[in-house]
Structure 1
Amino acid sequence: MASTPTPDPAGPDTATPDPGTPDPGTPDTWDPQRYLAYADERGRPFVELVARIGAERPARVADLGCGPGNLTRLLAERWPAAYVTGVDASAAMIERAEADQQVDHPGIEWQLADAREWQPEAQLDVLVTNATLQWIPDHLALLPRLTGMLAPGGWFAMQVPGNFAEPSHTLRDEVAALPAFAEHTGTAQRPASHDAVDYLRALTALGLEADAWETTYLHVLRGPDAVFEWVRATGARPVLQALPDALRPAFEEEFKARLREAYPADEAGRVVLPFRRVFAVGRA
């Protein structure tokens, strides 16, 4: 992506979101520009996940839940001879990926499809799904279908957030439960995930040679209400979009105030956001 730096495995220690990005206009939509405001921090787990894939010369590689495609292009860079497919259920994300398509990666194809329904044209040598399965209820039940897409010796790699007990999410739900908002937010989608051992057991039971682990990143953020800017693009997005326009500003102000108390800034304006991530890699 021309306007997005390639994630570095070490990652920067600061980032500032773009405050000028408008709110999404329709329910259950994604804003690629807002999501990319923290592209480096969001990219670090992807880089570390892919580093654990041992495939040397895969012919077919897929990124299921590719978002705006900036990380999918890292797959094409690692395996330039592979045919790479980026799949996402958001039309806005696929449009952004296509708009930012790099001429030096002609082997990438973008497809608009739900992860629960997408089927590759041929067996895959590598299937990556990064920060996607947490949006699918009971996604452990989806693993047999996903790993069944692999060719013999193929690799499956996944990463999901594991920070849903942190204030960034619990405070969202506390505010959403207030009488002024509850009737609108009660059915809004909430992401969820399992522990590393659950994914390890699930993949092993499917016959894969599996490895699973977790990492808690300490993201150092800058800017006004930095944690709110982070979560509004992902975990808080469905709740915010469920609110009528007239109520959303009041919700945001209450949520911001609670987040500022939970994640205080230091004298230099830096805020530390602990973020747990859960990883699993398996080989068929």
Structure 2
Amino acid sequence: MHAAPTWDPQQYLRHSTHRTRPFLDLLTRITDLPGGDSPRIADIGCGPGNVTALLADRWPGARITGFDSSREMLAAAAEYAGPTAGGGELDFRRADAAHWTPDEPYDLIVSNAALQWVPGHAERFPDWLDHLTPGGTLAFQVPGNFTAPSHALLAELCDTPRWRARLDGHGRRYVHILSPADYLERLTGLGCAADVWESTYVQLLQGEDPVLEWTKGTALRPVLTALDEDRAAVQEFVGQYRDLLRKAYPSGPHGTVFPFRRIFAVARTAQEAAA
């Protein structure tokens, strides 16, 4: 069984502006939480906490808990914990999204760019929806760029004779998203009013080898974890991957264009039937 990737919060946050934008777009579609001024919110796969803190900006009186399986990410998130300016509370706990079951009702369960790491995450939807208060919302966004050169080239490199046995599928094993139509069918089949859409963000990245630096925070993590004890192998692999990315994403006069597709879903449960 493969070990879970080791996360680097600082590397992840190098492109925090680009990584945050889809979450802000997701939040604009979430309205009328049943908890009033003090909704109960869970953030699944909260990472370093910077995005979880945005929930307190949107719902200042909310009681918000961020869940993540990475000790490194939770350590970084700790700086955001405590009372919020609007009278709410923000805390963080360790939990694996693949097995997390809410221990109390929530008005909103949200996830930002995390469920793609969770095999069978759609099978968790019934349990999560059952733990929403009537009229509550499940909302998430996941990357939809796993056929893009950034990921396709990584998978192909991992499958070359030089790396195939050494990496044993690490370059492609964390691809667990469904199509937008599949998410819509799953959520409406569970009795939700669902809104599912996709967007492609055409991002202009700056710096030397910016797409490589982007993937070092996400897609490349399983490979870096697998090779971590062999620094020479890490240097060799990253160098080969860098050269492939330079050809696929050439630097232009204003930076490097990096299209990034995202899939969004907002599913609202039914209100209680009238007495």
* TM-score, scaled to structure 2: 0.89
- Once the two structures are superposed, the pairs formed by residues 99-178 of structure 1 within 5 Å of their partners are 99-101=79-81, 104=84, 107-178=89-160
Q: CA deviation at 1:240?
A: 2.2
Paired residue for 1:249, among 232, 235, 240? Answer: 235
Q: Which residue of 1 aligns with 2:187?
A: 203
Contact 2:112 2:140 in 1 (8 A): yes
Where do 1:216-235 residues align within 5 Å?
Answer: 216-235=200-219
Match of 1:75 in 2: 55
Q: Distance in 1 between matches of 2:175 and 2:17?
A: 21
In the alignment, residue 263 of structure 2 is paired with which amino acid? V
Aligned residues: 258
Distance in 1 (alpha carbons) for counterparts of 2:214 and 2:119: 23
In structure 2, which of residues 29, 32, 47 is the aligned counterpart of residue 55 of structure 1? 32
Distance in 2 (CA, whole Å) between partners of 1:192 and 1:113 is 19
CA distance in 1, matches of 2:73, 2:109: 19
Aligned-partner Cα distance in 2 for 1:187–1:167: 17
- Where 1:92 maps in the other structure, the secondary structure is helix
Aligned twin of 2:6: 29
The Cα shift of 1:100 comes to: 4.2
Could you tell me how far 1:267 is from its partner in structure 2? 2.8
Amino acid at match of 1:39: S
* Structure 2 equivalent of residue 17 of structure 1: none
**Aligned-partner Cα distance in 2 for 1:54–1:267:** 41
Match of 2:245 in 1: 259
Aligned positions of 1:11-26 closer than 5 A = none
| 210, 214, 218: which one aligns with 2:198 | 214
Q: Which runs of 4+ in 1 moved over 6 A?
A: none
Give, in whole Å, the separation in 2 of the partners of 1:183 and 1:38.
32
Contact 1:157 1:282 in 2 (8 A): yes
Kindly indicate whether the alpha-carbon contact (under 8 Å) linking 1:66 and 1:87 is maintained by their aligned counterparts in 2.
Answer: yes
CA-CA distance at 1:87 after TM superposition = 0.6
Q: Distance in 2 between matches of 1:192 and 1:265?
A: 30
Partner Cα distance (1:80, 1:255) in 2: 43
Mapped to 2, the partners of 1:131 and 1:114 lie a distance apart of 14
SS at match of 1:41: helix
The farther-off stretch of 102-111 and 46-55 is 102-111
Give the match's secondary structure for 1:279. strand
> 2:174 & 2:192 partners in 1: Cα distance?
29
- Asked if the contact 1:59/1:125 (under 8 Å) is kept, the reply is yes
Mapped to 2, the partners of 1:203 and 1:217 lie a distance apart of 25
Match of 2:272 in 1: none
Cα deviation 1:243-276 (Å, max 9, x = unaligned): 23221111111100000000001134x1010000
Whole-angstrom distance in 2 between the partners of 1:112 and 1:34: 21
CA distances 1:212-260 after superposition (whole Å, capped 9, x unpaired) = 0000001100111100000111012102221232211111111000000
Once the two structures are overlaid, the 10-residue window that deviates more, 253-262 or 169-178, is 169-178
Worse-superposed segment, 164-173 or 95-104: 95-104
Question: Matches of 2:119 and 2:95 in 1, distance apart?
Answer: 17
The CA distance in 2 between the partners of 1:32 and 1:202, in whole Å, is 32
C-alpha spacing 1:115/1:283, structure 2 compared with 1 (3 Å): same
> What letter is aligned with 2:265?
A
Give unmatched runs, 5+ long, in structure 2: 270-275
Given candidates 234, 258, 264, the residue that maps to 1:279 is 264
- Provide the aligned C-alpha RMSD in A: 1.6
